[in-house]
A = this chain, B = another copy of it.
Amino acid sequence: MKIVTRISELSHDVGTSIGLVPTMGGFHKGHLQLMKTAKEECDLVVASLFVNPTQFGEGEDFERYPRNLERDASLAEEVGVDVLFAPSPEEVYPRLGSVIHVPVVSKLWEGSHRPGHFEGVATVVCKLLNMVGPDVAYFGLKDLQQCLVVKRMVEDLNMPLTISLQPTVREEDGLAMSSRNAYLTHEERLLAPSVYRNLSECKQKLQVPDLTHEQAEGILHHAKTSLEDDGFRVDYFELIELETTKAVRNLSMQCALIAAARLGKTRLIDNVLL
């Protein structure tokens, strides 16, 4: 595996299919599964590792975000990554740069709780896609709204590649794999699977036929309260339609249950598709 830190060292191989897995490092089984899938589907796999400052808000965890290039490089090599692209912030942002605003799907939920977050995400993903020139880029559905934002940006800007969204990888007790799980204390780690458990139970209850608007409302309220009783501060627990991310109370569109909740100093997000 080649480790590359300069944009100019990336080669746009013509005639080779390239798969890109954009990451911020702190590799877990979710990242590694994306890389394995890319390896199965493409001739050449590039994983980017860049903790992108522009997608963190003030007071967020940019400073303490897990960074361990040596460990990450070793894990990436094991699953067959060909190029690990790990640029410095100065390489990616040599000066104040252009910014991409994605409408509709970047507005609510993570967008309103983390102002500017999705402009940072969209912009850095656009840059990474242009730097690497992949045929396919792989993203994990754990960050569902990020997936919707990236997909919409690529479509809106007519970028010539496919965005491949892959299932969330979970711990045995259901907790969604996330680099941020490393922040959890032992006690918090035991509580953390409650997010997925409530999402799953809620999904089951919502799939009963002929549910009324009021019944759906009650089911969502119950799940949120149950998480709060477990000691979470819940940012949102919602049923949304994927097209617009707007809250809905019936399942006529393609929907998801999404949740964001804080446990101590850690903010967990998760979702289930309906």
**Which residues of chain B come closer than 8 Å to A126, judged between CB atoms?**
157
Q: Which of A28-36, A96-104, A167-175 contacts B (4 or more CB under 8 A)?
A: A96-104
Residue A12 interfacial (CB < 8 Å): yes
Residue A4 interfacial (CB < 8 Å): no
Q: Are the CB atoms of A98 and B122 closer together than 8 Å? A: yes
- A157 and B132 alpha carbons, distance in the complex (Å): 12
Q: Are the CB atoms of B98 and A153 closer together than 8 Å? A: yes
Say whether, besides A96-B103, A159-B130, A14 and B14 are in contact (CB < 8 Å).
Answer: yes
The residues in A between 85 and 130 inclusive whose CB is less than 8 angstroms from any CB of B are 96-104, 122-123, 126-127, 130
* Shortest Cβ gap from A268 to chain B (Å): 28
Q: Are the CB atoms of B102 and A158 closer together than 8 Å? A: no
* Shortest Cβ gap from A247 to chain B (Å): 19
- Residue with the highest number of chain B CB atoms closer than 10 Å, among A14, A123, A126: A126
Contact of A158 among B103, B131, B152 (CB under 8 A): B131
- A14 and B160 alpha carbons, distance in the complex (Å): 13
Give the residue name and chain of the B residue nearest to A158 (CB): B130
**Which residues of chain B come closer than 8 Å to A59, judged between CB atoms?**
none
Q: Are the CB atoms of A101 and B101 closer together than 8 Å? A: yes
Residue A19 interfacial (CB < 8 Å): no
Residue A133 interfacial (CB < 8 Å): yes
B-contacting residues of A (Cβ < 8 Å)?
A: 7, 12, 14-15, 96-104, 122-123, 126-127, 130-131, 133, 152-153, 156-160
List, sorted by A's number, 18 A–B pairs whose CB atoms are closer than 8 Å.
A7-B158, A96-B103, A97-B103, A98-B102, A98-B103, A98-B122, A98-B152, A98-B153, A98-B157, A100-B100, A100-B101, A123-B157, A126-B157, A127-B156, A127-B157, A130-B158, A130-B160, A133-B160
Known: A98-B156, A99-B101. 9 other contacts (CB 8 A): A14-B15, A97-B156, A98-B101, A98-B152, A98-B153, A100-B157, A101-B101, A127-B158, A133-B160
